[in-house]
Amino acid sequence: MSATTSHVGEMSTIGVGRARWLIVLPAVFIMYTISFFDRVNIGMALPHITPELGLTPVQAGWVGGSLAWGYAITQLAGGFLALKFGSRRLIGLCLVLFGATAIATGLVRNFWELVAVRFLLGLFEGPIYAATSMFLAQWFVKSERGRAFGIWNLSLGIGGFLAGPISGALLSAYDWRLTMVVEGVPAWIFCAVWFMSIPKSIDAASWLSEADRKLIKDELAAEQAAHSTSISEPWWRIFSEPAVWLMTAGFGLNSVLLYGFTLWLPAILKSYGTLSEFMVGLYAGAPFLTTMLGILYITNRSDKHGQERRWHAAVPTMLTGMLMIGAAFIPVHLYAVQIAAFIIIGFLMKMLVPLIFARLTEILPLSKAVPAVAFVSGVGNLLGQFFGPLIIGYAKSISPTFTLSLVIIGICSVAGGICVALSRSRTVAST
């Protein structure tokens, strides 16, 4: 290890570049919280939308799955758009567009309009993940990137949690249409905050000292130089890397559980027949609070154990599936036990997300890592966001309970963890 690398590796303890953690990461955290909130709040509204628009369980599944197609299109292109136009500018544009589409959700009149709006919401949110991965890889060095990606991905938990009680309170006081409109506005407000708080580059960050700026830039340059033998290769060589395909499969199969569970959890809770609207929202959000703890725990542990990502992602993913299968067979009269199981599942179910994408930025040069992030997240999210809600919708249409649905998505997560465990990299043999 070079002197520069070892020095930068101590940044968090000696205070070098500390302002990045107080300015850049909070902005990313809030931005992605709003994005994820607008993706998952449909789950709380769906029990109200279904009777008004006359949706069948299968159509309700299509409402959840339709976002995936738009999301996949621009998420696959997101890496190239970020490289061409810059991640900061691309994220700001997405905030404007998906905010408008989230508001439009409250104005739909039938099933097809709802599907179209959800498709557009996915289209405008799609580039954000790859753009944010690139953005953080340009501000944080390898030794701290696991924590940076972890803090960013805590927004998945807080967004999912807030969507429950906030939507529940709005639904109790108003209706689902006004709820969707009100919850779409924050994206527009934060767009202005984003451009005011985030500098165009490290060089433009007036809150970094010249010494800190040089140290960070030197380490980032050294990191890219370590990939010098493969930088000259075309980006599509990522498809010759088996680890990329296995991580795509693992992320996709875990996303089947993640998005199926997220969309249908309020309906599962309402099926108990004893919970108020607010309590449904509170319990639907609770797993996402434990998700935050799980992400924080696993990313810190991964960084402290030599930036090991593969097994730290694989083992929790397999455990998530096993617990979901077990939760599926808990009798309805013991619904409190099932809720507790769902909360424990929340602790584990998103541990792999930051580690998968941090790992891609570490085993590949940035010119390849950004397209790889776009591919893995695009294809993986398409599999999860489309098939997760649909699987549960179809299984529910042939079964009076959610047992079969939960077993299927649990099996998917176990298989996903196995894929991640097998994803050894030829580029960096130890990962």
Residue 76 scores a pLDDT above 50: yes
**Does the structure show a pLDDT above 70 at 404?**
yes
Residue 309 or 225, more confident: 309
pLDDT at residue 223, as a whole number = 78
Q: Are 146 and 31 in contact (CB under 8 A)?
A: no
In this prediction, residue 25 carries a pLDDT of 92
Does 75 score more than 60 pLDDT? Answer: yes
3-class SS of residue 333: helix
- 289-317 mean pLDDT: 90
> Mean pLDDT: which of 120-134, 243-257, 369-383 is highest?
243-257
Residue 391 confidence (pLDDT) above 50: yes
pLDDT value of position 430: 42
Structural Rg of the chain based on CA atoms: 21
pLDDT at 227: 63
Residue 2 has pLDDT above 60, yes or no: no
Mean of pLDDT values over 107-124: 93
* Whole-number Cα distances in Å, 1 to 9, 308, 378: 10, 17, 34
Q: Answer yes or no: are the C-beta atoms of 328 and 392 closer than 8 Å.
A: no
The DSSP annotation for 118-162 comes to HHHHHHHHTTHHHHHHHHHHTTS-HHHHHHHHHHHHHHHHHHHHH
Count H helices, E strands: the chain?
Answer: 20, 0
Range among 41-45, 54-58, 167-171, 412-416 with highest mean pLDDT value: 412-416
- What pLDDT score does 291 carry? 87
Residue 7: per-residue pLDDT:
46
Q: pLDDT category, 111, cuts 50, 70, 90?
A: very high
pLDDT at 228: 60
In this structure, of 11-25, 69-83, 87-101, the range with the lowest mean pLDDT score is 11-25
| CB of 254 closer than 8 Å to CB of 416 | yes
**Calpha distance 428→1 (Å, rounded):** 15
Q: What mean pLDDT comes out for the span 259-266?
A: 84
Query: Of the ranges 40-54, 182-196, 357-371, which is most confident?
Result: 182-196
pLDDT given for residue 15 in this prediction: 58
Q: Is the pLDDT of residue 283 over 60?
A: yes
Question: Is the pLDDT higher at 32 or at 267?
Answer: 32
**Which tokens hold the place of 17?**
């570049």
Label residue 181 by pLDDT band (50, 70, 90).
very high
Percentage of residues of the chain with pLDDT beyond 90: 35
The residue type of 78 is G
Flag whether pLDDT at 133 surpasses 50: yes
Report whether pLDDT(151) > 90.
Answer: no
User: Band of the pLDDT at 229, cuts 50, 70, 90?
Assistant: low
What is the predicted pLDDT for the residue at 232? Answer: 59
Q: Is the pLDDT of residue 192 over 90?
A: yes
Measure the CA–CA gap between 14 and 422, rounded to whole angstroms. 37
